[in-house]
Structure 1
């Protein structure tokens, strides 16, 4: 074992691909005894007091224990790889071990300890944790590290040796190999997840090889700053809603573990924009409970334990308004799917439901690599209007050709929707070149990924420019005319001289979408589309009536004149495309003369606003004023 550890230390110190080492920890480092990751010895008492004094947290605690009871009779996971990923098994391993370890810490019941030990031994016996797809290693290392640390004194010496060796051999050692550790130098969720996993592994075995552990943790602190830079300046996460839940949660897991073990996060939480990202995530959910699911995102969110860490850090319980709804309304079957769920018990700090008041601001705007604007008529009315619009570039990690796209909720219905992601394995298994982002790559042929199916423009039947980048150039929080304006020119610069889109929530009653275009010396074909799950009835050349769940929305084209609305199918054109039942695209096509300027103005009017006086829509140059 000593020779292995020495070899690993040499590998780490000489690895050319590792980020430059800064000694953040210093040489005089002393760590608490086990358990030292996230929850120190004796800190269970505070959680027990919370559980005993608050029915909501008593319920959550009970849900975790009930799931652990269900796991007692389940066989350990097996090393079954699907395509290029072992990730499903890594995530299930993390879920099981975190849950069971929490149950042991809180109850000291032997059956939880032995079931967790059985899982740990099985996972430690895997031939490897699939380093060619290193997310799998990152999550599995975190799982095993938590189990090793939290159960340390309940494990047999033989089990500890087996588990510790696996952390080193299957976790830390591959992270030193340049074939596998390119995530050290990227600014996306891979960096956050993998660095967190490796740091957990290092914390778990710190006393056995302190220099190696220091190097791994120092490396993580230096490297994770790369993706954390992407939260600048306002907290908007470039990869969207679902990947916020992934990357940011593991980033918080890393910071929280550092704080607990060393009493410092070495400046990570203070990185520009990072603490602001909690407001981004909260504002990304509409009153339907659905997220603004642009890029490779899912639609329905769940409880985000990291939000409790942010709320506690910022002393702002209003950041938990959406989490409050999950706590009150989600069933146990949803909660127990979250592999990080026990962390919410660690980070809740005993905050009660009554303290989780609605936010004061109705609009949030964030610049950065993927700028977004999010506005609503109310936080408390389930029938409120919610409107989100995005800029950004198809070149961003996990991005689609959706610059300028928007979503809209009203009367409890998501009227303007986004398909979000398609399962990666469903595409990769059919040979789709999914991760090539060149302009002419097969990625953009995937039906859900290009601009033809998003709520944006298609000009001259061309795809958006991958090299383009759409910025939000103005916004206003005026409650009578909340709005944001996005410059799409570089996204469409092969077809037009200028393209600018504005979206507005007018008097908290209806929505305006306005595009202003300046054409090149050639006639230009423009298509305006909106994807919807509603039934669409064309009731005039410029009007459509959308109905869903007994509710109604009017889509009205104010300009140009003489436009004729139409619909397009969402039937998938390729065998590799996912089916899209119950959806349709509605919109119009126009020909714009060469060397001219034109405006497209569309109103989206909920039924209850049908008789509301509608103002003349001003040019975008007057918005934001």
Structure 2
């Protein structure tokens, strides 16, 4: 073990890091700060602040109690085993992170040795694995984070033998495999893989610094430089191209990384100045509708519950309004302690903001002009109130993308009327032999029902799939309450069949919703299917109007601009044995023929029962 009592990173090394980051070099970064454990995320002095918070605020005390309850269950659970599912050890790594993080937190706050002993057992168990599955490196990253936190936080309570076994596992099963080009292609990635892997390994490097300082410095310097690749994707306004669930993954780990750097070195190495990054909390907050359901485009799941990273952003920006949605989760005890493996971080990042006093954001519209563009509009921030619309552009070729260009979700008074089926479990598809990570036009990925445009609230032309390389962008928008809207040029998704396609989505007079489409055909006639996926039941269909019903409420869907149109419904039953079931959903809409070399414009209205439309909004998007 090297004596690092007076060791300091050299000026030359700092200059190299600073040059790469284009930030001003610091004179010294004193690594003697690394000498004492605990040194990751929650320092020794932070424990008193957390204990004080738990005494002062019952909302946070409830979170703490939920963690302790889970820890009690863990005491009698079977320790983790190396069980690979398909090509992944990831479920084991994630449960290891939940257990070790929770138990280590419990020991530090309660000083009860039963939590330390159980965490030690868990760490020794995973340290004995043959490897942490480097062929799927997310598994290694999450396991490294788990064991690093446990090793660092419990260091003074671990036996010397356990310290040796655990630190050796971090080095040989975590850090060293990341130096092998066979396993580290994620260093060039611009998605969550880069953020997760760099963070997990950096925590491992910091935890075992004394045992191998040169390896640790290599890992940290590499991470500070390469984690900028996915961070650049937040530009210009904070959007996250992979959507709701992967924001909770990649961004959370990115925050873990920055938080550790600031705790240890007193600097973020310029990372927070990356354009758009510090605005991304606003994007995430906007994604949740008044129904409580997220705008779950691409490979997104359901409600995530309390999101620890949001408290970090709110405190960094001193903006309590970023926590308006999180306040609801705290008040309703939606902590998801059985699945939220990073839940203790919420308490660590709670800061001094009075969560009960968090007011709703002022703005009611958000739009992203970066990769995978979306527009989000609402009339009210309160749960079960107002109208909420999420409108999707972008491209199917983006990471975890679907053929959902032009699709939309919609909430009215707490019910979701236009929906998205979201993600499908990867292992089930991979086990069926599908190659779902090839993103070409003829990839088997697009044979999956939930991935193609046939299941989304958008257009299908001549029964064809959307162009995988097509990218739709916002061309105009307005946040005025009387007519809040966004218009997208979705032509690139349909260039095989159409000369032009534009879609506008609007909330009118804070009362109803309008979807306006304009298409232009080329040398052949086109059959256009307009569809909306809905969890509502169909009460009646009559020519150009149908009535949907849900939870005692009704919604009228009306079509104007197409003579003789006949509304209908289509089943969402899975067409293949490998497709997931879609219970409680149906597609509604219509088909229309558009002659060759012609233009067509039509409107679809979503009107709650009891609302009367005084006049029709002009169909031509040029007049919006």
- 3-state DSSP class of the match of 2:271? coil
- Give a deviation string over 1:293-352, Cα, whole Å, max 9, x none: 1000012221110000000011001001110111111346x2342100000011011433
Give the deviation of 1:60 after TM superposition: 1.2
* Structure 2 residue 189 is the aligned partner of structure 1 residue 173: no
Paired with 1:406 and 1:315, the residues of 2 have a C-alpha distance of: 32
Paired with 2:21 and 2:387, the residues of 1 have a C-alpha distance of: 50
Matches within 5 A, 1:66-77: 66-77=69-80
Give the deviation of 1:442 after TM superposition: 1.0
- 3-state DSSP class of the match of 1:269? helix
Any unmatched runs of 5+ in structure 1? 3-12, 14-19
* Structure 2 residue 214 is the aligned partner of structure 1 residue 193: no
| Counterpart for residue 613 of structure 1 | 614
CA contact (8 A) 2:420 2:533 kept: yes
| Counterpart for residue 386 of structure 1 | 388
- Give a deviation string over 1:131-161, Cα, whole Å, max 9, x none: 0000000000000000010011111111000
CA contact (8 A) 1:63 1:336 kept: no
Matches within 5 A, 1:467-486: 467-486=469-488
Give the deviation of 1:109 after TM superposition: 1.1
Paired with 1:50 and 1:163, the residues of 2 have a C-alpha distance of: 32
- 3-state DSSP class of the match of 1:179? coil
* Structure 2 residue 281 is the aligned partner of structure 1 residue 278: yes
Give the deviation of 1:228 after TM superposition: 0.7
* Structure 2 residue 115 is the aligned partner of structure 1 residue 108: no
Give the deviation of 1:65 after TM superposition: 1.4
CA contact (8 A) 2:562 2:602 kept: yes
Matches within 5 A, 1:452-463: 452-463=454-465
Paired with 2:63 and 2:82, the residues of 1 have a C-alpha distance of: 30
CA contact (8 A) 2:541 2:568 kept: no
Matches within 5 A, 1:196-211: 196-211=199-214
Give the deviation of 1:377 after TM superposition: 1.2
Paired with 1:264 and 1:78, the residues of 2 have a C-alpha distance of: 38
| Counterpart for residue 537 of structure 1 | 539
Paired with 2:234 and 2:63, the residues of 1 have a C-alpha distance of: 31
**Counterparts in 2 of 1:120 and 1:402: CA distance versus 1, 3 Å:** same
| Counterpart for residue 120 of structure 1 | 123
Paired with 1:614 and 1:189, the residues of 2 have a C-alpha distance of: 47
* Structure 2 residue 37 is the aligned partner of structure 1 residue 34: yes
CA contact (8 A) 2:151 2:167 kept: yes
| Counterpart for residue 237 of structure 1 | 240
Paired with 1:62 and 1:415, the residues of 2 have a C-alpha distance of: 36
CA contact (8 A) 1:22 1:218 kept: no
| Counterpart for residue 564 of structure 1 | 566
CA contact (8 A) 2:476 2:486 kept: yes
- 3-state DSSP class of the match of 2:341? coil
- Give a deviation string over 1:503-541, Cα, whole Å, max 9, x none: 000111100000111110211111100011111134321
* Structure 2 residue 239 is the aligned partner of structure 1 residue 260: no
Paired with 2:107 and 2:217, the residues of 1 have a C-alpha distance of: 29
**Counterparts in 2 of 1:163 and 1:27: CA distance versus 1, 3 Å:** farther
> Which has the larger displacement, 380-389 or 414-423?
380-389
- 3-state DSSP class of the match of 1:131? coil
Paired with 2:327 and 2:598, the residues of 1 have a C-alpha distance of: 51
Query: Which of 226, 230, 252 is the equivalent residue of 2:229?
Result: 226
Query: Which of 310, 318, 323 is the equivalent residue of 1:320?
Result: 323
**Normalising by structure 1, what TM-score?**
0.94
- 3-state DSSP class of the match of 1:483? strand
Query: Which of 509, 524, 530 is the equivalent residue of 1:507?
Result: 509
- 3-state DSSP class of the match of 2:304? coil
**Counterparts in 2 of 1:326 and 1:544: CA distance versus 1, 3 Å:** same
Paired with 1:586 and 1:359, the residues of 2 have a C-alpha distance of: 34
Give the deviation of 1:562 after TM superposition: 1.6
| Counterpart for residue 367 of structure 1 | 369
| Counterpart for residue 354 of structure 2 | 352
CA contact (8 A) 2:262 2:268 kept: yes
**Counterparts in 2 of 1:90 and 1:551: CA distance versus 1, 3 Å:** same
Give the deviation of 1:22 after TM superposition: 10
CA RMSD of aligned residues (A): 1.7
CA contact (8 A) 1:189 1:227 kept: yes
- 3-state DSSP class of the match of 1:276? helix
CA contact (8 A) 1:21 1:215 kept: no
Paired with 1:584 and 1:382, the residues of 2 have a C-alpha distance of: 23
| Counterpart for residue 408 of structure 1 | 410
CA contact (8 A) 1:117 1:155 kept: yes
Give the deviation of 1:460 after TM superposition: 1.4
Give the deviation of 1:353 after TM superposition: 3.0
Runs of 4+ off more than 4 Å: 20-28
Paired with 1:26 and 1:339, the residues of 2 have a C-alpha distance of: 37
Paired with 1:406 and 1:39, the residues of 2 have a C-alpha distance of: 41
Give the deviation of 1:413 after TM superposition: 1.1
**Counterparts in 2 of 1:214 and 1:26: CA distance versus 1, 3 Å:** farther
Give the deviation of 1:607 after TM superposition: 1.5
Give the deviation of 1:422 after TM superposition: 0.7
CA contact (8 A) 2:516 2:603 kept: yes
Paired with 1:520 and 1:569, the residues of 2 have a C-alpha distance of: 31
| Counterpart for residue 7 of structure 1 | none
Paired with 2:528 and 2:216, the residues of 1 have a C-alpha distance of: 58
Give the deviation of 1:367 after TM superposition: 1.1
CA contact (8 A) 2:21 2:269 kept: no
* Structure 2 residue 66 is the aligned partner of structure 1 residue 63: yes
| Counterpart for residue 135 of structure 1 | 138
CA contact (8 A) 1:54 1:352 kept: no
Give the deviation of 1:486 after TM superposition: 0.6
CA contact (8 A) 2:224 2:269 kept: yes
- 3-state DSSP class of the match of 2:410? strand
CA contact (8 A) 2:467 2:494 kept: yes
How many pairs were matched up?
Answer: 605
* Structure 2 residue 297 is the aligned partner of structure 1 residue 294: yes
Paired with 1:40 and 1:469, the residues of 2 have a C-alpha distance of: 46
**Counterparts in 2 of 1:274 and 1:194: CA distance versus 1, 3 Å:** same
- 3-state DSSP class of the match of 2:42? coil
Give the deviation of 1:561 after TM superposition: 2.2
* Structure 2 residue 151 is the aligned partner of structure 1 residue 153: no
